[in-house]
Chain A
């Protein structure tokens, strides 16, 4: 049975998702703010601005009319930058109905509030049947038809089943999960680790050092996610270690490129301007530090990367400082706070 799908956002991930749904025969509507982009998608069936070399199937139609795009959609997929997410959700809310299912593919946290994207959907709209799609998914590879897998996470089985039906193909396997919180945090926070990996590659400090940074980054990510209520098992799945591997290993990943540029001595604004796309890790590092402070979790790697990004610390100085920290246990045990733990002195993981 075909599902009416609407994708909000025609960046490279939004366009790729729309193309996947369309090629599976689902009538799909893509909403974009840009009339030229919509015209190009409907006419030439390409999207040059998204830097993708793919031809969008005929089942996909693009529009700039947000209300029209949402009316009658059974599944809404949101693929917008995290900092534009709330504004679009607020506008979309007048057309979103309780029956609709919604998943997002945005790997970031909102600056200032540190809100996850699913929290924004709940706060702004009537939709409750929510989920997230994430994993090691370089849009360019998926658009080119290379084999890959992703995770559809939702506590609502129908959301997971619908996403599977819409996106699965012989080229893309869709795995199921429940832990939306864990998948969202992995997706947002691994970008910070990827910036560290980009720096390491550019500084030529060796594969050992890079493995050290990535592993400690993963442990810090797990510690923070657990303190926020995520399931630690999620970190060992596709949305966790899977996504971390691809982002840290691939020089094509945006956050990796930002890290490399900083290591070359470029200021952040220049690096971002050259990238021409959003690098979510730049802002996620701010949120990670704030959340860690709130929950009493120590994140030395995240803190140093954040200081490089926003406080003028040089990458080499950050590396030296990290190497001088007293090493503790390799993998500390994760402990839930006791019911009677007094705030401010909560046992940390």
Chain B
């Protein structure tokens, strides 16, 4: 298959045409916002946003764009307003659109494995990044239709890892919806742009931006372009596996399928969840600090995280190499736009395995019929199933199991404390008998084995084969490698908590699983 991502220039005019058409039609309808109101909303939202943006060339050009809009509005008639709406939408479409370049893709995919391999501690990337799960089903979904690959979001490394995974599996390139912040680094930006990434600015909330972004994603999918995005929106702050997913881009799937069917394409539209599990997380300290700050107090402070600090990168990869640690990239089973499983030939199946025609979900009396409320409900359902698949694909590791056991011990000592009081109360003096923890870890592993046999979670090889004592040892070694303060430290026959916030962060990877009883 030739590597090709549909570039912004190819679909830009269609996107602008469709968005402007819909906005103008709505303005003339009984319930739609008048054009002037729509443009005002953009000007207002953008003015608010830009007031908080740090100075830079992008901010300056956005400010100039809004300023000339403001000047033009008082004199604008209906035609002029329509022209302005077109101008705004074209401006957004241009910002969103990717600039895929075949040559850059070819060079980058040749370089990526080597570069990633060196980063990950030398040697083959395959040894560090384990591609697991429904790989054949993913390949078959790609062959039979258009795939939306939706991974959990743990670290900024996820983008690189997913890029490598797609290449390694021999899949065609995916259009990747990436946060605008990733484009601020000139080198990353160059590759992102040319590898088929398009930008998502989470700070823009005005209806024209959201409509343009959605239309861009819909048009790509409808034309058969595979897509990749993180429905969690941002990296998980608390370390939890995401539960509440953002519905925006997932919500483009029903319309994209309908458009593709209308155009006479008989291919399917599939969602493939993917769970990333890291034994250590590069940005864990900043992420959990941010989470606690947000939940504990009213003020949100912008991150300056480890991702921006090369020395932390080096320490992180050094840790992975020294301990022979592995990142698990686990693909879930493909599902259709309402969450049904699909078979090897891409057909949707009902819960009893009978092939069904997915077209029916979008039809009334046999005809494809648009219905935004219906599609929104399908999207909620599919998001729920994706979140469920994330949990099923999560790999329980020595770090998360040990963190869980220690955290529960700490909770038991302070049963009345809420999370913040509990974390404040844990200090260097907080230590637990290794023997007692060994007992807890043993019970946890037994419980996790039952859950794994039910398909609720995956187990790392260390948990399947090793003793509880070995799991604790492995966890301690891993925790001692990378973080400035070790999460946990051996102290004679006891184990002491070094960093309570990180303890909470790593423990959270297993939250959502019914494990409380095992450590009661």
Tell me, yes or no, whether A binds B. Answer: yes
- Using a CB–CB cutoff of 8 Å, the interface residues on chain A facing chain B are 74, 90, 93-94, 96-100, 123-126, 128-129, 155-158, 338-345
Q: In this assembly, does B360 line the interface, its C-beta being within 8 Å of a C-beta of chain A? A: yes
A123–B339 Cα distance when bound, in Å, is 11
Map CB proximity to A onto B112-146 as digits: 1 under 8 Å, 0 otherwise. 00000000000000000000000000000000000
Contacts A99-B360, A158-B364 given: A126-B238 contact, CB under 8 Å? no
Q: In this assembly, does B76 line the interface, its C-beta being within 8 Å of a C-beta of chain A? A: no
A125–B361 Cα distance when bound, in Å, is 13
29 contacts between A and B (CB under 8 A): A97-B356, A98-B338, A98-B348, A98-B356, A98-B358, A98-B359, A98-B361, A99-B363, A99-B364, A100-B360, A125-B351, A126-B348, A126-B354, A128-B338, A128-B361, A128-B377, A128-B378, A128-B381, A129-B361, A155-B377, A156-B373, A156-B374, A156-B377, A157-B371, A157-B374, A158-B371, A158-B374, A339-B238, A342-B411
Say how far B222's CB is from chain A's closest CB, in angstroms.
Answer: 20
Which chain B residue lies CB-closest to A1?
A: B365
A155: B residues at CB distance < 8 A: 373, 377, 380
Contacts A93-B354, A338-B295, A342-B419 given: A129-B516 contact, CB under 8 Å? no
How many A-B contacts if CB must be within 8 Å? 70
Cβ–Cβ contact B351 & A124, under 8 A: yes
Nearest first, the 4 A-B pairs at minimum CB distance are A98-B360, A99-B360, A126-B350, A98-B361
Q: In this assembly, does B357 line the interface, its C-beta being within 8 Å of a C-beta of chain A? A: yes
Say how far A338's CB is from chain B's closest CB, in angstroms.
Answer: 7
| CB < 8 Å neighbour of A340 from B238, B351, B358, B373 | B238
B338, B350, B411, most chain A CB atoms within 10 A: B350
| CB < 8 Å neighbour of B374 from A74, A129, A342 | A129
Cβ–Cβ contact B295 & A339, under 8 A: yes
| CB < 8 Å neighbour of B516 from A99, A100, A338, A343 | A343
Which chain A residue lies CB-closest to B294?
A: A339
B516: A residues at CB distance < 8 A: 343-344
Say how far A349's CB is from chain B's closest CB, in angstroms.
Answer: 17
A96–B365 Cα distance when bound, in Å, is 14
A342: B residues at CB distance < 8 A: 411, 419
B189: A residues at CB distance < 8 A: none
Question: Which residues of chain B from 222 to 259 have any CB-CB distance to chain A below 8 Å in the complex?
Answer: 238
Map CB proximity to A onto B331-355 as digits: 1 under 8 Å, 0 otherwise. 0000000101000000010111010
A96–B411 Cα distance when bound, in Å, is 50
B363: A residues at CB distance < 8 A: 99
Which chain A residue lies CB-closest to B352?
A: A93
Cβ–Cβ contact A345 & B350, under 8 A: no
- Using a CB–CB cutoff of 8 Å, the interface residues on chain B facing chain A are 238, 295, 338, 340, 348, 350-352, 354, 356-361, 363-366, 371, 373-374, 377-378, 380-381, 411, 415, 419, 511, 516
Cβ–Cβ contact A126 & B340, under 8 A: yes
A343–B419 Cα distance when bound, in Å, is 11
Main secondary structure of the interface of B (DSSP, over half): mixed
A158: B residues at CB distance < 8 A: 364, 371, 374
- Apart from A93-B352, A126-B351, A155-B377: 19 A-B pairs, beta carbons within 8 A: A93-B351, A97-B356, A97-B357, A98-B338, A98-B356, A98-B357, A98-B361, A99-B363, A100-B360, A123-B351, A125-B350, A126-B340, A155-B373, A155-B380, A156-B374, A338-B295, A339-B238, A340-B419, A342-B411
Which chain B residue lies CB-closest to A155?
A: B377
Which chain A residue lies CB-closest to B349?
A: A126
Which chain B residue lies CB-closest to A123?
A: B351
A90: B residues at CB distance < 8 A: 352
A90–B365 Cα distance when bound, in Å, is 24
A128–B208 Cα distance when bound, in Å, is 31
Cβ–Cβ contact B365 & A74, under 8 A: yes
A341–B352 Cα distance when bound, in Å, is 37
A125–B352 Cα distance when bound, in Å, is 8
Which chain A residue lies CB-closest to B419?
A: A340
A94: B residues at CB distance < 8 A: 352, 354
Say how far A81's CB is from chain B's closest CB, in angstroms.
Answer: 22
A339–B415 Cα distance when bound, in Å, is 18
A159–B374 Cα distance when bound, in Å, is 10
Say how far A329's CB is from chain B's closest CB, in angstroms.
Answer: 21
Which chain B residue lies CB-closest to A345?
A: B415
Which chain A residue lies CB-closest to B355?
A: A126
A123: B residues at CB distance < 8 A: 351
B359: A residues at CB distance < 8 A: 98
Contacts A74-B365, A90-B352 given: A343-B511 contact, CB under 8 Å? yes
A124: B residues at CB distance < 8 A: 351-352
A97: B residues at CB distance < 8 A: 356-357, 360
A343–B411 Cα distance when bound, in Å, is 11
B361: A residues at CB distance < 8 A: 98-99, 128-129
A210–B51 Cα distance when bound, in Å, is 61
A135–B380 Cα distance when bound, in Å, is 26
Say how far B454's CB is from chain A's closest CB, in angstroms.
Answer: 15
A340: B residues at CB distance < 8 A: 238, 295, 419
A339–B420 Cα distance when bound, in Å, is 12
B411: A residues at CB distance < 8 A: 342
B365: A residues at CB distance < 8 A: 74, 99
Which chain B residue lies CB-closest to A344?
A: B516
Say how far A98's CB is from chain B's closest CB, in angstroms.
Answer: 3
Say how far A262's CB is from chain B's closest CB, in angstroms.
Answer: 35
A318–B64 Cα distance when bound, in Å, is 74
Say how far B440's CB is from chain A's closest CB, in angstroms.
Answer: 15
Which chain B residue lies CB-closest to A129?
A: B374
Say how far B510's CB is from chain A's closest CB, in angstroms.
Answer: 11
Say how far A161's CB is from chain B's closest CB, in angstroms.
Answer: 11
Say how far A226's CB is from chain B's closest CB, in angstroms.
Answer: 18
A98–B47 Cα distance when bound, in Å, is 46
Say how far B442's CB is from chain A's closest CB, in angstroms.
Answer: 20
B352: A residues at CB distance < 8 A: 90, 93-94, 124
Say how far A83's CB is from chain B's closest CB, in angstroms.
Answer: 20
Which chain A residue lies CB-closest to B380?
A: A155
Say how far A66's CB is from chain B's closest CB, in angstroms.
Answer: 14
Say how far B503's CB is from chain A's closest CB, in angstroms.
Answer: 13
Say how far B48's CB is from chain A's closest CB, in angstroms.
Answer: 26
B377: A residues at CB distance < 8 A: 128, 155-156
A158–B363 Cα distance when bound, in Å, is 12
A128–B381 Cα distance when bound, in Å, is 9
A93: B residues at CB distance < 8 A: 350-352, 354
Say how far A67's CB is from chain B's closest CB, in angstroms.
Answer: 13
B360: A residues at CB distance < 8 A: 97-100
A338–B238 Cα distance when bound, in Å, is 13
A345: B residues at CB distance < 8 A: 415
A99–B361 Cα distance when bound, in Å, is 5
Say how far B413's CB is from chain A's closest CB, in angstroms.
Answer: 14
Contacts A97-B356, A98-B357, A343-B511 given: A157-B381 contact, CB under 8 Å? no
A339: B residues at CB distance < 8 A: 238, 295
A125–B373 Cα distance when bound, in Å, is 21
B356: A residues at CB distance < 8 A: 97-98, 126
A94–B340 Cα distance when bound, in Å, is 15
A74: B residues at CB distance < 8 A: 365
Say how far A257's CB is from chain B's closest CB, in angstroms.
Answer: 37
A98: B residues at CB distance < 8 A: 338, 348, 356-361
Which chain B residue lies CB-closest to A101?
A: B364
A339–B366 Cα distance when bound, in Å, is 44
Say how far B474's CB is from chain A's closest CB, in angstroms.
Answer: 26
Say how far A72's CB is from chain B's closest CB, in angstroms.
Answer: 11
Which chain B residue lies CB-closest to A130?
A: B377
B419: A residues at CB distance < 8 A: 340-342
A344–B507 Cα distance when bound, in Å, is 15
A90–B378 Cα distance when bound, in Å, is 22
A338–B294 Cα distance when bound, in Å, is 12
A338: B residues at CB distance < 8 A: 295
